Amino acid sequence: MTIIMRFALAAFVFTCCVSTVARADDTDTRPNIIYIMSDDHASHAMSCYGSKVNETPNLDRIAKEGVKFTNAFCTNSICSPCRAVVFTGKYSHLNGVLDNRDVFDGSQPTVPSILKAAGYQTAMIGKWHLHSDPIGFDYWKILPGQGKYHDPDFIEMGKQSTVKGYATDIIGDDTINWIRNRDPKKPFCIFSHHKAPHRNWQPDEKHKKMFEGKEFPLPETFDDDYKTRSLAATEQEMSIEHDLTKTDLKEAPPEGLTGEALKKWKYNRYMQDYLACIASVDDNVGKLLDFLDESGLADNTIVIYTSDQGFYLGDHGWFDKRFMYEESYRMPLIVRYPKEIKPASTVDDMVLNLDFAPTMLDFAGVKIPAEIQGRSFRPLVKGEAVGDWRKSTYYHYYEYPAWHMVKRHYGVRTDRYKLIHFYFDIDAWELYDLKNDPHELNNIYDDPANAELVKELKAELARLQKQYGDSPELAEKFLQEDLKDPKIRERVRKKIEERDERERKAAEAKESKANANP
Ligand SMILES: [Ca+2]
């Protein structure tokens, strides 16, 4: 061995020793966080939640090896607002994203910016839909706006280009690649947001034929006639029967199909594509879980799977979301973290997407800012009893008049009852007894026997509004701001005109019936 070689070897050994020691000292062992969120994935389209229409074996793995929340809800059931709540832990009226049109101010404290400042590596890949550039991420690659399923454009750190392939696969692969190429000495937090299964439900080649020609069981409320409800349910524009377009259905219905048969055909076409899009999400989650196993990351990584809100799968005759009714109010939420969560456990307490931010910060051991309105559910997943956990949830939806025409409303839900107030071009209350009427078909608000209950729930609603800094006055202020937009005023005018026309026709029909049977 020459002197130079000896010197080189000594230097090599020295470097190895130093790097080993440094590694043991430097490596930050705080847990990694992988937050996977799909778009419009209803929990009743997941087999771990008892789906009657599909199987999601890979997503079920998270529930089997972790915890399943049976009562997770959103605070405002629509895309952009849900995302802003997840990042900030604050209600829409405080984080500034009330509807899909609002631009997110990413300079307010968010999970990624707080974790980044605390030494986490942070990334955001996939659907962003907040109209401003992501802030607080070491790396981001987002779909512009709603994004496309096939050969989508992506904006990577400010630069836009087209990527060949299927959005769900690209987002899944990019997520794994970013984790693979990170600095292994530092913990990471990655937000991996799928576009799927958002409208108009375009499956990939692999799953396209998975449900071809399949007929699905009809939900019990498929033919809901909205008899006891307010006009909000009849004036929506998200019905399977009337509002699914040729673009949604991708083919013309078989000739001669009318009425209920046509409605069922549309429902099956919708479900076939919606569920095929979910199958691809499920595959990609499976790929990620396998990667975590192979790379030895599974044990120290928290894996969260959820969707920005729930969705109607023909329930009440609808697709889409927005209403505070159960199907779109509920979110799927499953979490795996072997160090603290027992396999196959469940949490029945009512949690909100408002709680996601403080929970992630809590797991990372970072101080939760006082302005965050949610509460960490870390003790709940550890199986600890929390005596003062919330007994009621507060909801507020604003995007009206707009797509699908679901009226503005706010409400309160307890473990048994739900009280909703629709406002603006309507002033209507609905009350449901979820124990005796789980499908919310029977609005019992006007029953005098419930007067005391209504009083109690209104008091609880007012208490929650006060707690969260919301109020009917604030709602009115936001409404007046929206009404400054001539396009919105025009939509309101049209809607009122339609209602007048419908009422005129109904009165005419009644009169002619009376004349026919004097
Ligand atoms: Ca959504």
93-119: per-residue pLDDT in tens?
999 999 999 999 999 999 999 999 999
- Radius of gyration of the chain from Cα atoms? 25
Ligand 1 center–CA 388 separation, angstroms: 31
Ligand 1 center–CA 277 separation, angstroms: 14
Ligand 1 center–CA 1 separation, angstroms: 67
Burial 357-383 (b: 16+ CB within 10 A, else e): bbbbbbbbebebeeebbbbbbbebbee
By three-state DSSP, how is residue 435 classified? coil
Q: Where are the beta strands (DSSP E) in 23-146?
A: 32-38, 67-69, 72-73, 121-127, 139-143
Residues in the chain: 518
Give the pLDDT of residue 499. Answer: 86
Ligand 1 center–CA 73 separation, angstroms: 13
Ligand 1 center–CA 52 separation, angstroms: 22
Ligand 1 center–CA 93 separation, angstroms: 19
Ligand 1 center–CA 128 separation, angstroms: 11
Ligand 1 center–CA 238 separation, angstroms: 14
The CATH number, out of the four listed (3.30.1120.10, 3.40.50.300, 3.30.420.40, 3.90.950.10), of the domain defined by the range 403-516: 3.30.1120.10
Ligand 1 center–CA 68 separation, angstroms: 21
Ligand 1 center–CA 383 separation, angstroms: 30
Ligand 1 center–CA 39 separation, angstroms: 4
Give the pLDDT of residue 376. Answer: 98
Contact call for residues 81 and 99 (beta carbons, < 8 A):
yes
Ligand 1 center–CA 406 separation, angstroms: 15
Ligand 1 center–CA 268 separation, angstroms: 21
Residue spans per domain, the chain: 29-385, 403-516
CATH domain 29-385 topology: Alkaline Phosphatase, subunit A (3.40.720)
Give the pLDDT of residue 502. Answer: 87
Ligand 1 center–CA 251 separation, angstroms: 24
Give the pLDDT of residue 25. Answer: 63
Ligand 1 center–CA 152 separation, angstroms: 18
Residues in contact with 416: Cβ distance below 8 Å, sequence separation at least 6, in sequence order: 433, 434, 435
Helix (H) or strand (E) holding 195, with range, is none
Query: 71: buried, middle or exposed (CB in 10 Å: 19+, 13-18, 0-12)?
Result: middle
Ligand 1 center–CA 323 separation, angstroms: 13
Residue segments in the chain with a per-residue pLDDT below the cut of 50: 1-23
Ligand 1 center–CA 81 separation, angstroms: 9
Ligand 1 center–CA 415 separation, angstroms: 25
Contact call for residues 114 and 97 (beta carbons, < 8 A):
no
Ligand 1 center–CA 386 separation, angstroms: 31
Give the pLDDT of residue 518. Answer: 63
Give me the phi and psi of 392, to 5 degrees please: -150, 155
Ligand 1 center–CA 322 separation, angstroms: 9
Ligand 1 center–CA 78 separation, angstroms: 5
Contact call for residues 331 and 306 (beta carbons, < 8 A):
yes
Ligand 1 center–CA 450 separation, angstroms: 35
Give the pLDDT of residue 24. Answer: 54
Helix (H) or strand (E) holding 251, with range, is none
Q: Does the pTM of the predicted model rise above 0.85?
A: yes
Ligand 1 center–CA 309 separation, angstroms: 6
Ligand 1 center–CA 312 separation, angstroms: 12
